[in-house]
Amino acid sequence: MVDAPQITSPATITLGVYSVSGVSVADAFAATNPGSMALNVSATHGTLAIAGHSGSSIKLSGTLAQVNAFLATLAYTPPATPVADTIEVNVWNQAGQSTTNVIAVAAPSAAAPPVTPPVTPPVVTPPVTPPKAGVQASRIADLLSMTGGCNLFPSIVADQNTWGSYPADYTPATVEAAMAWLTNGSGVMPLSRVYFFADRLALMQEWMPLAAAAGMRFSICIGDGGGTADVPGLLTLAGAPANGIVQIEGLNEPNANGVTIASSRAVQDALWAGKPTGMTVAGPSIVFGLPEPGGYVTDYADPTDLADLLGHMDVGNVHVYPPSLVDLDDGSNAGGVMAEIVKQLGTVYGGKPLVMTEWQPTLYDAATPGSNPALDGYYAPLMLLSAFRNGIRGAQYFPLLDFGTTYQCGLFPTNATNPRPAAWSIRALHTLTGDVGAGAHTFTPGTLAVTVTGGPGPINAASPETGMGTDLFQASDGRFFLVVRNEQDAAGGAASPVSVEFGTAPTKVTEYGITGDATFDTPLQTVAGQATLATTMNACVRLLVIEP
């Protein structure tokens, strides 16, 4: 059993003392395992400031060291009319264990003198150009861990598939070849997903060690319509390290398959009771629609049922098939579809982290049975970046290979040949970045002084992440990767000038286009020793590889 994090904090602070000192987190598991912790801070009446963010409720993620660095900056500003208040500090580790501390903010007594900030005498200095603020990077290996993991339908014989996915060839060698093509030596093998029924135990016992020996790791769920009879076999697989299983899940889409909430609870309870030590347990993947995705969960599970599910899961389990551009508002005014999903389902699931065990950018934005391959190549990196930005902790594309003729939306049609545009985009991210360093998932990324100007603004005020945007990553060898994205409903269109300015001229910057085809690794331009890079962009995704 993984222990919950331990938060050290003062019991009480007094209004007027704006810096909240003495808050820190200790967690042996987080200190020695990859992945990010989730930090949530909130105040009932006042305003908080932490790590450059401000508001009454702030969510951040990072390593244990980063979380403590964030907390070292925590400050509190009382409302215009000071009142007694509380500050809540909540942290989740990578194993889904959570701890919350509440800090009381004492209102000043009537006799208390007003707090006057100290006055520093002015110092006359020559005018200088202030340095550009540093942008905090995330680890590129953490993004790549979500990039290219897929839903799989294992088979031992190429022309036989008990899941109904033929003519797709899900034999171990073919799956390994496809995953090796996608990751292309990046040093990161993303987590993939498999399904299970009790009558397929022998198949899975033969298939999984072969795939795991190639470096693959898995999340495993009980398939559509399954039940408690399937739990012992799933736990048998999960308990064998050679099978590479690191996460187990409840039922797959029970509310879409006529499974009662009582049956879904029974499965979840049994998985929790029998889980291997240290294994992450995801909840059932309850199907939802938009807007108001949280209502689909609460309609299926009343408060008692939901409380039982939450007590037997570490992470919430979501399937995301957006109706269009994932950062475009759908009328809920939540900042885009992905932001709405994370906000609503994060609340419904009691603040637990979310994993996205099925996703596809356009499956329900195109005529059945397929998706829109060209648009997938543009949307796929945007969707992964949005999920990462919004705190999603895992992602599996649906599927690696087509599911027969029912879902012609795989990254490849039948085997590790003829990659579709989304596959090329995923390969581009792995090929152009990557991190083979021993500390790829544990080093503390730095900041980069960079400013991007130009290009169009958001599509509308309710969709702030559309239009021009950036995401910054770093590898353990010091390289930075700046993603510059112009998010529109469709790729292409009119181009406009874009300028990238660095506080200090990098040694070299190489610009690539995440094109959805084989041209991705042909540089668009390379500049050396220059503080400014000028380019033009239509609706597209660019990657700048920056050598400091």
pLDDT at 537: 98
Domains of the chain: 6-106 (2.60.40), 139-432 (3.20.20.80), 439-547 (2.60.40.1180)
Nearest-5° Cα angle at 520, 516 to 524 = 130
Calpha distance 413→399 (Å, rounded): 10
Strands 395-397 and 354-359: parallel
- Is the pLDDT at 75 greater than 90? The verdict is no
Segment 25-37 shows an average pLDDT of 80
Residues facing residue 537 across a β-bridge: 496
pLDDT band at 1; cut points 50, 70, 90: low
**Contacts (Cβ under 8 Å, ≥6 apart) of 93:** 2, 4, 5, 27, 29, 30, 37
- Is the pLDDT at 123 greater than 90? The verdict is no
Closest CA to 234 of 268, 285, 185, 184: 268
pLDDT at 262: 98
pLDDT at 100: 84
Using a pLDDT cut of 90, give the percent of the chain over it: 74
Question: What is the dihedral sign for C-alpha 369, 373, 375, 376?
Answer: positive
Give the Å distances, CA to CA, from 201 to 234, 252, 309, 459.
8, 17, 26, 49
- Is the pLDDT at 114 greater than 50? The verdict is no
- Three-state secondary-structure class, residue 511: strand
Q: What is the pLDDT of residues 170-218, one digit of tens each?
A: 999 999 999 999 999 999 999 999 999 999 999 999 999 999 999 999 9
pLDDT at 126: 37
Q: What is the pLDDT of residues 343-361, one digit of tens each?
A: 999 999 999 999 999 999 9
Segment 30-52 shows an average pLDDT of 82
- Is the pLDDT at 164 greater than 90? The verdict is yes
- Is the pLDDT at 518 greater than 70? The verdict is yes
- Is the pLDDT at 368 greater than 70? The verdict is no
More confident residue, 190 or 119: 190
- Is the pLDDT at 483 greater than 80? The verdict is yes
Asked whether the beta carbons of 78 and 46 are under 8 A apart, the reply is yes
The encoded tokens of residue 522 equal 């042909």
pTM of the full predicted structure?
0.77
Say which amino acid occupies 67.
V
The CA R_g of the chain, rounded to the nearest whole Å, is 24
Range from 64-68, 312-316, 331-335 carrying the lowest mean pLDDT? 64-68
Instruction: Using the CB atoms, write b or e for 454-474: b if 16+ within 10 Å.
Output: bbbebbeebbbbbbbbbbbbb
Range from 62-66, 78-82, 165-169, 538-542 carrying the lowest mean pLDDT? 78-82
pLDDT band at 139; cut points 50, 70, 90: very high
